[in-house]
A and B are shown apart, each in its own frame.
Chain A
Amino acid sequence: MYVTIVFLPLLGFLVAGLFGHRLGPRGAQIVTSGFLVIAALLAMIGFADVALGGHEYRIPVAQWVSSGELDFHWALRIDTLTVVMLVVVTVISALVHVYSIGYMSSDPHNPRFFAYLSLFTFAMLTLVTADNFLQLFFGWEGVGLSSYLLIGFWYERPSANAAAIKAFLVNRIGDFGFSLGILAIFLVFNSVDMQTVFDAVPDHAGSTFSFLGYQLHTLNTICILLFIGAMGKSAQLGLHTWLPDAMEGPTPVSALIHAATMVTAGVFLVVRCSPMFEYAPLALDLVIFIGAATAIVTASIALVQNDIKRVIAYSTCSQLGYMFFAAGVGAYGAAMFHLFTHAFFKALLFLGSGAVIHALADEQDMRRMGGLRKALPLSWSFMVIGTLALTGVFPFAGYFSKDTVIEVAWAAQSGLGEFAFVMGVAAALMTAFYSWRLIFMTFHGAPRAAAKVMARVHEAPKIMWLPLALLALGAFASGFLFSDLFVGDGRAAFWGSSISAHGDGVLEAAHHAPVFIKSLPLIMSIGGFLLAYQLYLRRPDLPGKLARTFEWAYRFLLNKWFFDELYDFLFVRPAFRLGHFLWRRGDEGVIDRFGPDGISKVVALLAARLRRLQTGYIYHYAFAMMIGLALILTYIVLQEGGL
């Protein structure tokens, strides 16, 4: 069954990719979406079996690479952590597939689009079911590839092409760390099989090994290298710049890949490796710090963005930061819980915004929206549900998961935990502000779109409502339904041995947090709402005035803390300049000049008839070689005779 779940999307990809032009758009849609729906249903059965029934499986598939002591197999590792991800990935993917039937209906490249979506799903499923680190890396790169293909789906747009390459390259920088981490794992543990490695981890606690000439703490180093990979994939501070640009892809892609599933792969990696991170205190501290810093920095950028998708994209970065610092303090269950609920409400927000964009003929700038509530009541209500869930209002999903995350940071009782707590609370305020700002700018106030556009605004077709409705249900109910299992009293039985229970004490302490701490996120959420209400509904002139008064701050945020400009200045342009320099000055200016060209000049001076030699070189060469050889052989023969 689990093999079927993983390989159905691959089959869908192959069918739609190879025979797409024969099947036509409708055929490709039915095949890929149908397979995904089946996979999602099977995944739910698997969830019941493994997570609720307490079974675990290891399913070997085939041998892959074997060289010396290195021996990789394709195998599926099915435990609670896996099935949670299986459900998230297949369910969201199935819904996005169905939604795309409506959203992409006018696009001429339907089969290609659905083929890519299925390819992505397959890669993501191999990632979450990986039994060894190399297979994980296979899925890891596979999702990166599909992400690249889908960001650049509209290949005629230069901005989409640029964004696609940027996403791939920034991720490669993360992979640089990740692959070094895998190499180090093999060197230390002599295996890349997860179970073997995790079992052996306690033996290496506190040991050191030589890395880049330094004696370093083994597990800290390995975990930090792995975390660099996670930072790339999950768009954490420093390597986050690709995610907002990735919004160049079609909106269903943003929902599936760049909100609900792929970007959470980094969190998954840390949680999957929790038995290793437990023995890597420095790595965990780094995870907390980066997570908390990302949460606040990207939330601050989201405050002033005007592109509806970019606001949600920065919000995604920020929420991923929450998941990381929860994992960093050892509350892996809390991190996974937020990952789980976030998948629903963030996909809902993206698909909802997609409905808006669809209605406004591909307009994404919120400054040209407003007053759409009457025309788009369904979209409005879905977006509001998503926002309530994101900002953590009771009883929506975010209330349960985000509060737990903030509480565990408080309960960690460490300096960094406190830092994460403060940042998390502050970011919660910002989250509420930018989320409601988005709602108000889009749906309320006076319409700012051209009258011609407004006249043609219409709700999305029915096939797009169904996925939205199901996601809204998830955004509403996934919190209180699963809270007990993920982070509550049922957690020990639920997770089994799939995550390290080392940090369980933090979760326990979080449950006994004082009421003030527990209610702080909700207070922030209400505060953010009121602020946005004041600024964008009651006094719409205020934001402009504020921007003018604090212009430097506004510019700083609007330009995203100038990360892109900095990287361009530091890395991109120098790389091209260096390449040019090495080519013109190195290869041509030095090597050729003093090498073959120099010799040729000498030859030319001597013979002064280089031109006429032309292909004659070949014969000269052949001649010289043959004569030489003949002489030698003659000599040998003569000598032999003489002996």
Chain B
Amino acid sequence: MLGFPILSLMLLVPLVGVTLILLIGGEEKIVRRNSRSVALIATLFNFILSIAMWLSFDPSTSAFQMVEHHPWIGDKIAYHLGVDGISLLFVVLTAFIMPICILASWEAIETRVKEYMIAFLLLETLMIGVFVSLDLFLFYIFFEGGLIPMFMIIGVWGGARRVYAAFKFFLYTLLGSVFMLLAMLYMFFTAGTSDIPSLMSYSFDADVQKWLWLAFFASFAVKLPMWPVHTWLPDAHVEAPTAGSVILAGILLKMGGYGFLRFSLPMFPLASLEFTWLIFFLSLVAIVYTSFVALAQEDMKKLIAYSSVAHMGFVTIGIFVFNTQGVEGGIFLMLSHGVVSGALFLCVGVVYDRLHSRDIARYGGLVNNMPRYAAAFMLFTLASIGLPGTSGFVGEILVLFGAYQASSWLAFIASTGIILGAAYMLYLYRRVIFGKLEKADLKGLLDLSPREIMIFAPLIFVVIWMGIYPAPILDVLHVSVSNLLEQFNAATGASVGPMTGLEAGGGR
């Protein structure tokens, strides 16, 4: 335990950054430079804090740590923060991705730099808030509030069809959050508390659980996103600036998965068990359907966006098989995907900054004059495919191990996604990187700049490290995940997988 309230500090640091940026005045050029520097320093500082938090975390207990508890509204709603093994790493991931986003926007953003940096810093506070909140309403504020800066980032600094994209994003998420808020209210009045740890041990009536589960599901499914409420994602990605896409794919999507783990499984275990079939069905459709769609894409960002939907299908399968490998794999895959998809969007950003096109057909033969870029892109492509030795493999294989224990059909269909995943990613890579360098304007492109190398180096390191020595990450998860599953099994009275029935009924 640290001697100071580290979680509050992590929420505060970006806000201090915001204040400082607001105070910056003077010449336009200086404002820009200083805003960037302040944002970078604030996010880096937060990253260091997150590492300190990780180091002082005790992985041998599933209890919440670094807890802060202050009364807030009445005596039932509190400012309650804390992390456990499940949320800790998401905080670290957020703090890790943020400075990279700031660096990635260093030269790409030229207009309203000040506001842009403010939006990102606000976003950081709100995202970290989601993962550390231990009060329903506090969580809700962070969870929904995070969308506001994201809307702005897309709507102000986005591409040509940004309004359409922001609008679509808005419609979907609004739908989800209305239901979630209603459910939260109901829970509050029924259980008499908005304290998340208390609610986790409160058992709701089985029928009520169903409705609550569905209400939360509406919100989380949109966030993840699950098929068929995924169509906002490709548009949002396409229109968002590079760093916006990185945050979107890297962290915002993970809130859905985190929500399932924090709310749906522990609070509505019976409903979770009952709706397993729905999750599996939607996830499998997502994996196969979006993989095929990704194969047909002509826009780089859209392709990667669709691949995200497919990967999230793996995540939801992992979470809802309710066994150690599945859940740990699901979490690991979310972390891995956060890094890898972020990196892939940055790869798109590199060429987009130079040529202002995301059209795959516009490129080809970049390996000739951008060998370093080609190497980095290759590594992230392989990680996305789930090649052993990269972070993607560990997550995918754990999910598959988990899935197979639930049902061989599940693992069978999910595995097809691995073949298709290789197909669309390698096909993308080939069209962009390989081939002859024939287009005149491509010949002038320069390889990665020192700033870009600084962006990619830590990502490359993390992808390989997570693939070869994932123990430090898995060790954090073990106790919390097994506690989650013990609680779940105790509540449902099911130590056998839920799929035994389906397995028998699946065919004869």
The residue in B145, B404, B433, B505 that gathers the most chain A C-beta atoms within 10 A of its C-beta is B404
Give the CA-CA distance A431 to B408 in the complex, in Å. 42
Give the CA-CA distance A576 to B293 in the complex, in Å. 8
B87 at the interface (CB under 8 A from A): no
B51 at the interface (CB under 8 A from A): no
Q: Are B167 and A579 in contact (CB under 8 A)?
A: no
Q: Which residues of B contact A70 (CB under 8 A)?
A: 324-325, 398, 401
Give the CA-CA distance A111 to B113 in the complex, in Å. 43
Q: Are B411 and A180 in contact (CB under 8 A)?
A: yes
Given A65-B398, A633-B73, the answer on whether A615 and B166 have CB atoms closer than 8 Å is yes
C-beta contact mask, B409-440 vs A, less than 8 Å → 1, else 0? 10110011011101100110010011110000
Q: Which residues of A contact B397 (CB under 8 A)?
A: 65, 134, 179
Given A165-B430, A576-B296, the answer on whether A621 and B398 have CB atoms closer than 8 Å is no
C-beta contact mask, B169-195 vs A, less than 8 Å → 1, else 0? 011101001000100010010000000
Q: Are B415 and A141 in contact (CB under 8 A)?
A: no
Q: Which residues of A contact B177 (CB under 8 A)?
A: 625
Q: Are A636 and B409 in contact (CB under 8 A)?
A: no
Q: Which residues of B contact A64 (CB under 8 A)?
A: 468-471
C-beta contact mask, B384-398 vs A, less than 8 Å → 1, else 0? 000111000110011
Q: Are B289 and A622 in contact (CB under 8 A)?
A: no
**Among A63, A175, A210, A625, which residue has its beta carbon within 8 angstroms of that of B408?**
A210
B297 at the interface (CB under 8 A from A): yes
Give the CA-CA distance A575 to B295 in the complex, in Å. 8
Identify the stretch in A211-219, A264-272, A439-447, A474-482 within 8 Å (CB) of chain B at 4 or more residues: A211-219
The residue in B140, B231, B401 that gathers the most chain A C-beta atoms within 10 A of its C-beta is B401
Q: Are B172 and A640 in contact (CB under 8 A)?
A: no
B16 at the interface (CB under 8 A from A): no
A137 at the interface (CB under 8 A from B): yes
Q: Which residues of B contact A67 (CB under 8 A)?
A: 324-325, 328-329, 398, 401, 474, 478
Q: Are A176 and B419 in contact (CB under 8 A)?
A: yes
Q: Which residues of B contact A632 (CB under 8 A)?
A: 181, 185
Q: Are B411 and A183 in contact (CB under 8 A)?
A: yes
Q: Are A165 and B426 in contact (CB under 8 A)?
A: yes
Q: Are A156 and B470 in contact (CB under 8 A)?
A: no
Q: Are B434 and A184 in contact (CB under 8 A)?
A: no
CB contacts under 8 Å to B, within A150-191, are: 152, 155-156, 158, 161, 164-165, 168-169, 172-173, 175-176, 179-180, 183-184, 186-187
The residue in A134, A156, A637 that gathers the most chain B C-beta atoms within 10 A of its C-beta is A156
**Among B368, B404, B416, B418, which residue has its beta carbon within 8 angstroms of that of A184?**
B404
Q: Which residues of A contact B387 (CB under 8 A)?
A: 141-142, 145
CB distance from B378 to the nearest CB of A (A): 8
A627 at the interface (CB under 8 A from B): no
CB distance from A521 to the nearest CB of B (A): 39
Majority SS at the chain A contact face: helix
C-beta contact mask, B352-369 vs A, less than 8 Å → 1, else 0? 000000000000010110
Q: Are A176 and B415 in contact (CB under 8 A)?
A: yes
A614 at the interface (CB under 8 A from B): yes
From A633, which residue of chain B is reached at the shortest CB distance? Answer: B73
Majority SS at the chain B contact face: helix
Give the CA-CA distance A3 to B430 in the complex, in Å. 35
Q: Which residues of B contact A138 (CB under 8 A)?
A: 388-389
A596 at the interface (CB under 8 A from B): yes
Given A65-B398, A632-B185, the answer on whether A637 and B423 have CB atoms closer than 8 Å is no
CB distance from B308 to the nearest CB of A (A): 14
Q: Which residues of A contact B74 (CB under 8 A)?
A: 636-637, 640
C-beta contact mask, B216-239 vs A, less than 8 Å → 1, else 0? 000000000000110110100000
CB distance from B63 to the nearest CB of A (A): 21
A542 at the interface (CB under 8 A from B): no
B163 at the interface (CB under 8 A from A): yes
Given A186-B401, A596-B172, A640-B76, the answer on whether A582 and B292 have CB atoms closer than 8 Å is yes
B319 at the interface (CB under 8 A from A): no
Given A70-B325, A138-B388, the answer on whether A161 and B231 have CB atoms closer than 8 Å is no
**Among A65, A148, A158, which residue has its beta carbon within 8 angstroms of that of B435?**
A158
From A643, which residue of chain B is reached at the shortest CB distance? Answer: B74
Q: Are A184 and B408 in contact (CB under 8 A)?
A: yes
Q: Are A578 and B292 in contact (CB under 8 A)?
A: yes
Q: Which residues of B contact A179 (CB under 8 A)?
A: 397, 400, 415, 418
Give the CA-CA distance A414 to B373 in the complex, in Å. 57
From B411, which residue of chain A is reached at the shortest CB distance? Answer: A183
Q: Are B435 and A156 in contact (CB under 8 A)?
A: yes
CB distance from B12 to the nearest CB of A (A): 21
Q: Which residues of B contact A629 (CB under 8 A)?
A: 137, 140-141, 181
Identify the stretch in B29-37, B151-159, B340-348 within 8 Å (CB) of chain A at 4 or more residues: B151-159
Give the CA-CA distance A581 to B229 in the complex, in Å. 18
Q: Which residues of A contact B151 (CB under 8 A)?
A: 615, 617-618, 621
From A580, which residue of chain B is reached at the shortest CB distance? Answer: B296
C-beta contact mask, A565-593 vs B, less than 8 Å → 1, else 0? 00000000001101110110011100110
The residue in A134, A145, A600, A621 that gathers the most chain B C-beta atoms within 10 A of its C-beta is A621
Q: Which residues of A contact B229 (CB under 8 A)?
A: 595
B168 at the interface (CB under 8 A from A): yes
A106 at the interface (CB under 8 A from B): no
Q: Are B422 and A65 in contact (CB under 8 A)?
A: no
Give the CA-CA distance A137 to B415 in the complex, in Å. 15
A544 at the interface (CB under 8 A from B): no
Q: Are B323 and A618 in contact (CB under 8 A)?
A: no
Q: Are B325 and A169 in contact (CB under 8 A)?
A: no
A549 at the interface (CB under 8 A from B): no
Q: Are A172 and B422 in contact (CB under 8 A)?
A: yes
CB distance from B405 to the nearest CB of A (A): 6
Given A70-B398, A169-B426, A186-B404, the answer on whether A582 and B328 have CB atoms closer than 8 Å is no
Give the CA-CA distance A156 to B412 in the complex, in Å. 37
**Among A66, A152, A578, which residue has its beta carbon within 8 angstroms of that of B434?**
A152
Q: Which residues of A contact B171 (CB under 8 A)?
A: 595-596, 599-600
B77 at the interface (CB under 8 A from A): yes
Give the CA-CA distance A522 to B109 in the complex, in Å. 75
From B163, which residue of chain A is reached at the shortest CB distance? Answer: A614
CB distance from B2 to the nearest CB of A (A): 28
Q: Which residues of B contact A611 (CB under 8 A)?
A: 163
Q: Are B412 and A180 in contact (CB under 8 A)?
A: yes
C-beta contact mask, B308-349 vs A, less than 8 Å → 1, else 0? 000000000000000111001100000000000000000000
Give the CA-CA distance A172 to B423 in the complex, in Å. 9
B27 at the interface (CB under 8 A from A): no
A515 at the interface (CB under 8 A from B): no
CB distance from A175 to the nearest CB of B (A): 8
**Among A63, A210, A595, A617, which residue has its beta carbon within 8 angstroms of that of B503?**
A210
Q: Are B404 and A183 in contact (CB under 8 A)?
A: yes
Given A210-B408, A632-B185, the answer on whether A576 and B471 have CB atoms closer than 8 Å is no
Q: Which residues of A contact B297 (CB under 8 A)?
A: 583
Given A68-B323, A615-B152, the answer on whether A213 and B508 have CB atoms closer than 8 Å is yes
A62 at the interface (CB under 8 A from B): yes
A461 at the interface (CB under 8 A from B): no
B41 at the interface (CB under 8 A from A): no
A179-B400, A214-B507, A625-B177 given; 17 more Cβ-contact pairs under 8 Å: A63-B471, A65-B397, A66-B474, A70-B325, A141-B387, A141-B389, A145-B382, A165-B426, A165-B427, A183-B408, A184-B408, A212-B408, A579-B293, A596-B231, A621-B147, A625-B145, A632-B185
The 7 A-B residue pairs with the shortest CB-CB distance, nearest first, are A68-B324, A213-B507, A579-B296, A213-B506, A615-B155, A640-B74, A183-B404
B→A interface (CB under 8 Å)? 73-77, 137, 140-141, 144-145, 147-148, 151-152, 155-156, 163, 166-168, 170-172, 174, 177, 181, 185, 188, 228-229, 231-232, 234, 289, 292-297, 323-325, 328-329, 365, 367-368, 382, 387-389, 393-394, 397-398, 400-401, 404-405, 408-409, 411-412, 415-416, 418-420, 422-423, 426-427, 430, 433-436, 468-471, 474, 478, 482, 503-508
Q: What are 7 A-B contacts with C-beta separation under 8 Å?
A: A64-B468, A169-B422, A179-B400, A211-B408, A615-B156, A617-B155, A636-B77
